[in-house]
Amino acid sequence: MRKRKEKAGEAEIRADTGPQIVGVVERAKEGDRVAFGSLVSLFHEDIFRMVYFRVRSEIDAEDLTQDIFIQAFKGVRRLKEADRFRPWLFSIAMNRVRDFYRKRRFLFFMGTPSETESLKREDPEEGGDAEPLRNLEKKDFWNQIGGFLKKLSRLEKEVFLLRFFDHLTLKEIAETLGKGESTVKTHLYRALRKFRNETGIRTLFGEMQ
């Protein structure tokens, strides 16, 4: 019975993503574990996708996503404005991903390559399923995306991914990165200008949406 009530509560939150979420965040800030569980259910897919786009390993993405929500649970009481929960959560995710890559580089230089093989693990989308052509298209897509992203500055890359892969608004991107909206717009414009020159990737990007 309790689980049915929790599921119903989550459905209500999804139906109204404005004041409803603020109310749930406020309850979570007061230590309500059920309320925080509702937030996890609501944002888990978004955060997992955001992390996976950046680490390209399902195993690592699952571990990082779990860590992100643990950090969020520990820190939610310190969140001053409940309506900023989403960008606040994404900022935790961004920092966790950066920590992941810093650790990877450190372990590599320390001579422990076994700990740095996560990005080489088999991509679940490239397994031996019944859609080899679809998998090949996805692999081509990610190869081209990776090549394009290397042409962007760090901030251009982060803004581009947050806008078009994570679907954050400009205001949310600014809050996530701790930058002004004008700065976000400038770097997004620069990234888009470079993107327009990538005819092949633009075609693939449209097909993958």
pLDDT at 157 over 70: yes
Q: What is the pLDDT of residues 69-93, one digit of tens each?
A: 999 999 999 999 999 999 999 999 9
**Winning range, highest mean pLDDT, from 45-54, 98-107, 112-121:** 45-54
The mean of the pLDDT values for the chain is: 79
What class has domain 131-209?
mainly alpha
* Alpha-carbon dihedral angle through residues 66, 72, 73, 76, given to the nearest 10 degrees: -170
Identical fold, 1-122 and 131-209: no
* Confidence band of 101 (pLDDT split at 50, 70, 90): confident
Of residues 33 and 131, the one with the higher pLDDT is 33
d(CA 188, CA 155): 9
pLDDT at 44 over 90: yes
pLDDT at 3 over 70: no
Phi, psi of 43 (to 5 degrees): -110, -5
* Confidence band of 148 (pLDDT split at 50, 70, 90): confident
Mean pLDDT across 43-62: 93
pTM over 0.85: no
List the domain boundaries for the chain.
1-122, 131-209
Spatial neighbors of 115 by CB under 8 A, at least 6 apart, are 104, 107
Give the domain 1-122 fold.
Rna Polymerase Sigma Factor; Chain: A (1.10.1740)
Of residues 143 and 131, the one with the higher pLDDT is 143
Q: Can you give the length of the chain in residues? A: 209
